Amino acid sequence: MRDHDVPVSLSEQAFVEWLTREGQCRYHDHHPFHQLMHAGKLTKFQLQQWVLNRYYYQTRLPIKDALILAKSGLDVSFRRQWIERIHQQDGKQEGEGGLTLWLGLAEGVGLDVEEVRSCKGVLPGVRMACDHYVELVREMSLLEAVALSLTELFAPDLMSKRIAVWEEHYPWVDQKALVYFRTRVSRASLDCKEALEFVLTHATTYDLQERCVKALIAKTQILWHLLDCLSLAYIHQGLPAQGDSLDSRE
């Protein structure tokens, strides 16, 4: 498209369709590792390593949300709304929140909770990708940083499928440990609604809309890279976890 053909802005419907199209085709549910998970073909060891490494990603979420709050300037109503994401993940007191629920998931798959909490076993590539996510938020405008979170548009359906898949294919997992996924079905729906409303309100030009789409794509690439790291380490190379031996894996 030549510069003079670029519209001033897309209609709201066209913009949402653009975001949805770009996000759906790149979302990490298409990744081979994720497809193996949903087909029930991961070993206990491989599923445990997904839980362990993904915990580090969970710990970055309240940090990036705090950075987003710091960008909000005089928008008090935005802060009141967005701060709930930190409360949801960290909890308002000890023993609450998404991080606690994720540690419950770790225990449910047979991991040592303190080992998971320490993040010592996190793959270097996973750590770098998650830290890069935080740095993107730090460097981006408020609008682009909010647009990064629009992968939540696709999360509710994925969480619902994941619950059913885990119950069917991984019956050895303590079913009570799946509460994190259950809570995210409804919460992710609310979060994506709020984020999308903000983006639609503030992306008032084609350039801003394009920046939001690029931010969404960047987030899908981060999520995809996490699974690339897991595939390389635990499927193609078959590395053991710390303290594990090749013979002890199931």
**pTM for the predicted model, two decimal places:** 0.90
CA 233/CA 189 separation, integer angstroms: 33
Confidence tier at 90 by pLDDT (50, 70, 90): very high
- Is 243 a residue whose pLDDT tops 50? no
Residue 213 amino acid letter: V
What would the pLDDT profile of 111-162 be if each residue is shown by its tens digit?
999 999 999 999 999 999 999 999 999 999 999 999 999 999 999 899 999 9
What would the pLDDT profile of 27-55 be if each residue is shown by its tens digit?
999 999 999 999 999 999 999 999 999 99
Domain regions of the chain by residue span: 9-242
Measure CA of the first residue to CA of the last residue in the chain; give whole Å: 53
Q: How far is CA 47 from the centre of its chain?
A: 17
- Is 247 a residue whose pLDDT tops 80? no
Over residues 185-198, mean pLDDT: 91
CA 180/CA 105 separation, integer angstroms: 7
CA 189/CA 83 separation, integer angstroms: 16
- The chain-wide mean pLDDT, for the chain, equals 91
DSSP 93: S
Return the CATH number of 9-242, one of 3.40.50.150, 1.10.565.10, 1.20.910.10, 3.20.20.70.
1.20.910.10
CA 111/CA 150 separation, integer angstroms: 31
